[in-house]
Amino acid sequence: MSNTTDGDVFTQTLQNLHSDFQANPFEYGNEDMILPELYHRLKLELDQTRLPAKFGVEYGDDSWKVQKASESTEAGEVTRTRTETAFIHDSDSWIPSNRSMTFKFDLTIFSESESLLLQSKRTGPSNYFDSGNEISVLAEVKHSKNLSGNDFYSQEKGISDIVALSEFPGEVHERTFLFFDWWPEYQDGTERFSKYKSKLLAQLPTLSSPVTIRYLPRIGDEQTFTIS
């Protein structure tokens, strides 16, 4: 067993992806390309990529699909690196305070364990997991696309994601918000990050848990800070 933690692997993989983003920026025009590439690289780098699955039906209804799934004695294995993951907490779908619908996190790395507990959605199996599973990394990913960096600090985008990360009730070793900026400089060449960070901090409410912010520009160094 390696002494390298999931967090170490995540950080190194992210640094390599950032280097690729800077070297080949047109490959990564938005998060639609960033997230699948990050997911692919993590699956190659992490130890024990799959874990035995157990299936719960605390949130399921009485449909035959839920009953059929609950009767299964062999659930196989699932990858512990997941995208678009929703959670069941206290027998209900977990929703952040600033949202009105079930929230799906962009990236989840579940910690190595004997098994992972999935939960049924109302009508049957899905990408729903129990909030009691230990998590190494929980992440949201945003990209400036062809706009300014408003998504970094806007209430509807960056701030909403950061609040959701902080409020998630499970055991998480690292909660992180990733922002890839295609336009990190103004037309005159001055950097935008300082202004973005100030606007973000000025608008953020008090967080329930610390969240690490990773700003990854097309030009320049990664900027990382943690908000408690």
pLDDT in tens, 202-223: 999 999 999 999 999 999 999 9
Number of domains in the chain: 1
Let me know if residue 221 belongs to a domain: yes
Three-class secondary structure of residue 107 per DSSP: strand
Let me know if residue 75 belongs to a domain: yes
Q: Has residue 1 got a pLDDT over 80?
A: no
Let me know if residue 127 belongs to a domain: yes
Q: Has residue 41 got a pLDDT over 80?
A: yes
219 vs 140: CA distance, rounded Å: 21
Let me know if residue 90 belongs to a domain: yes
Mean pLDDT of the 103-117 span: 96
User: What pTM was estimated for this model as a whole?
Assistant: 0.94
Let me know if residue 65 belongs to a domain: yes
* CA nearest neighbour of 108 among 163, 38, 158: 38
Let me know if residue 26 belongs to a domain: yes
HSE, side-chain direction, 13 A CA sphere, residue 154: 11
Let me know if residue 1 belongs to a domain: no
Query: Quick one: pLDDT at residue 137?
Result: 99
Range of the domain at 67: 6-227
100 or 127: whose pLDDT is higher?
A: 127
**C-alpha dihedral (77, 137, 46, 78), degrees to nearest 10:** 10
Query: Quick one: pLDDT at residue 54?
Result: 92
